Structure 1
Amino acid sequence: MSEAWQSVKAYALKADDGTLMRHAFQILLAAALVFVVIDFREINAAKALAPFDPQAPGAAPILPPALTEGEPEAPPSEITTEAEQLKNAIRFELQPGGILRAQGAIDPGAAERFRTEIEARGEYVKTVLLDSPGGSVGDALAMSKLIRERQLDTKVEKGALCASSCPIVFAGGVERTAEKGAVIGVHQIFNGSTTRLSPEQAMSDAQRTTAEITRHLEEMGIKPALWRRAMETPPDRLFYLSAREMEADALTTPPPPKPVAASRGKTASPQ
């Protein structure tokens, strides 16, 4: 036998059962961590080979089950937009009254196309109408910042969807309106990068992105409770926001005050 084996054997004979069990557990734990890292790298590698394709067979459903009080529930209202329209990469359509409809999944590069669209329309666009299942967090954040920079309003109509990263875009509006019957949901962000990342880099990126989103929402006047709801909901679930919750979290803004009609045929009496 080798000297190393003789040393291990001698140690084993001297050590008590508790010590041996403790060391065996430490070895098993170390092995488990190695396999977790290997699995994580393989998953990341698989993602790197799969570019963004919202219409790919077997892709996650466009509308995951809701998570409310820990139990999956159906959407609070009917979504009238066809699923195929939501799965397509986001597209922009100019409508009368200074409205720009943004419909579809927020794919990588969406923010740049959005900026080009806004710059081409000059001062005509006043409101961005959202109907999207979300997508690229970085692009959603850039779109939201541009909306606030241009002092635009945001709106989600009845029967439309604004989920995942879409509420980040919605938060950029100066005035933010969700019609009765609009479906708005949030959940945890997750790494959709198509590059190979180490576990440490993936964690670092997630923390940096979370900090950036938190800071942006604060600047937009959104209360921290909204982001807590998102962080408490797994990425394969949605927390559907009620009108009361959106108002309480300041995701929606109060309607502008109606102008007071001047009284007719009456004059103030002198004091």
Structure 2
Amino acid sequence: MRIDEPLKALLRLDDGALMRGAFFLLLSAAAVFLLIDVRDITAMNAELPGFDPMLEDQPVLPPALTEGVPNGPSVQPASPDEVLRQPMKFELTSGGILLAEGTIDLGAGARFAEEIETRGEYVKTVALNSPGGSVDDALAISKLIREKKLNTKVASKALCASSCPIIFAGGVGRLAEEDAIVGVHQVFNGSRERPTAEQAASFAQSTTARVARHLDAMGIGAGLWINALETPPDRLYYLTAKEMVDFKLITEPVATAKKKS
């Protein structure tokens, strides 16, 4: 074999394969560092308490972390904090749109499944307005949305943050209107009890792997989850319209989304 043949083979790889390879290399490296000294995770958790939008002493929207300087999104949610803090509710509106609004509490996935079983034939699109919450419930809702071949939407000045983009990713068609607020950050243990270092390490690794595998299956670019992994759980990485296109989180440009239902 000639020396330049491996280089030519590498150049033939498409960008998607390279990104996935780099992403899973990053995950492997993260797992190694977590196992080097799990005591560091306990210290990190003490400094960075997990974001819980249902607690009134925490903001519904945490500050952004962009180049180390906290700031907020370009627009604020239209819904008041008390609406976003409530356990997620589902309301079927006109045009086959099922509004999923509020925090993704434990049990939201089961309630969503019941709603789809009862009214599924009328539902075409799931419109999201949520500050996030339970990762397990978000994954369950997202998987059912894809199974039923439903679309997802984040309306103008609606919020889809933390674990909510996991649900958003389940849509066959994914629409974010102009001024939609979409943000991601690291997963964390939402338990009120402080986990041990070993529990924190195990949770972070297993949950990161499950979410990464799900997003890959949904056709979402690895860049979305890389930005989430780099953002502490008490901060948010707010996505720009260009990033949502680049990461394939939306299936049409934001600029034209506002004109559609």
TM-score by length of 1: 0.73
**Matched AA of 2:149:** Q
Say whether the 8 Å CA contact 1:102–1:130 is kept in structure 2.
yes
Once residues 83 and 56 of structure 2 are traced to their aligned partners in structure 1, the CA distance between those partners, rounded to angstroms, is: 16
> Is 1:114 the equivalent of 2:122?
no
Say whether the 8 Å CA contact 1:79–1:159 is kept in structure 2.
yes
> Is 1:150 the equivalent of 2:148?
yes
Once residues 195 and 234 of structure 1 are traced to their aligned partners in structure 2, the CA distance between those partners, rounded to angstroms, is: 19
- Write the deviation string for residues 86-120 of structure 1: whole angstroms up to 9, x where unpaired: 01111000001111000000000000001000110
Once residues 65 and 213 of structure 2 are traced to their aligned partners in structure 1, the CA distance between those partners, rounded to angstroms, is: 25
- Write the deviation string for residues 115-166 of structure 1: whole angstroms up to 9, x where unpaired: 0001100311010000000001111111111110110000000010000000
Structure with greater Cα Rg: 1
Say whether the 8 Å CA contact 1:190–1:235 is kept in structure 2.
yes
Please name the residue that 2:199 is paired with. 201
Once residues 195 and 55 of structure 1 are traced to their aligned partners in structure 2, the CA distance between those partners, rounded to angstroms, is: 16
Higher relative contact order (CA 8 A, sep 6+): 2
Please name the residue that 1:266 is paired with. none
SS for the counterpart of 1:122 is: helix
Query: After the TM superposition, which residues 188-267 of structure 1 pair with which residues of structure 2 at under 5 Å, given as runs?
Result: 188-194=186-192, 197-254=195-252
SS for the counterpart of 1:123 is: helix
Please name the residue that 1:16 is paired with. none
Say whether the 8 Å CA contact 2:105–2:133 is kept in structure 1.
yes
RMSD: 2.5
Q: Equivalent of 1:98, from 68, 79, 96?
A: 96
Say whether the 8 Å CA contact 2:53–2:131 is kept in structure 1.
no
Please name the residue that 1:85 is paired with. 83
Please name the residue that 1:132 is paired with. 130
> Is 1:65 the equivalent of 2:63?
yes
Shift of residue 54 of structure 1? Answer: 5.0
CA spacing shift, 1:57–1:180, aligned 2, 3 Å: closer
Once residues 219 and 142 of structure 1 are traced to their aligned partners in structure 2, the CA distance between those partners, rounded to angstroms, is: 14
Question: Tell me, which stretches of 5 or more residues in structure 2 are unaligned?
Answer: 1-36, 254-261
Once residues 226 and 160 of structure 1 are traced to their aligned partners in structure 2, the CA distance between those partners, rounded to angstroms, is: 19
Once residues 175 and 94 of structure 1 are traced to their aligned partners in structure 2, the CA distance between those partners, rounded to angstroms, is: 18
CA spacing shift, 1:238–1:107, aligned 2, 3 Å: same
Once residues 103 and 119 of structure 1 are traced to their aligned partners in structure 2, the CA distance between those partners, rounded to angstroms, is: 19
> Is 1:76 the equivalent of 2:74?
yes
Q: How many residues align?
A: 213
Question: Tell me, which stretches of 5 or more residues in structure 1 are unaligned?
Answer: 1-32, 256-271
Once residues 56 and 174 of structure 1 are traced to their aligned partners in structure 2, the CA distance between those partners, rounded to angstroms, is: 33
Say whether the 8 Å CA contact 1:54–1:89 is kept in structure 2.
no
Say whether the 8 Å CA contact 1:76–1:240 is kept in structure 2.
no
Say whether the 8 Å CA contact 2:89–2:102 is kept in structure 1.
yes
Say whether the 8 Å CA contact 2:52–2:190 is kept in structure 1.
no
TM-score by length of 2: 0.75
Shift of residue 69 of structure 1? Answer: 2.3
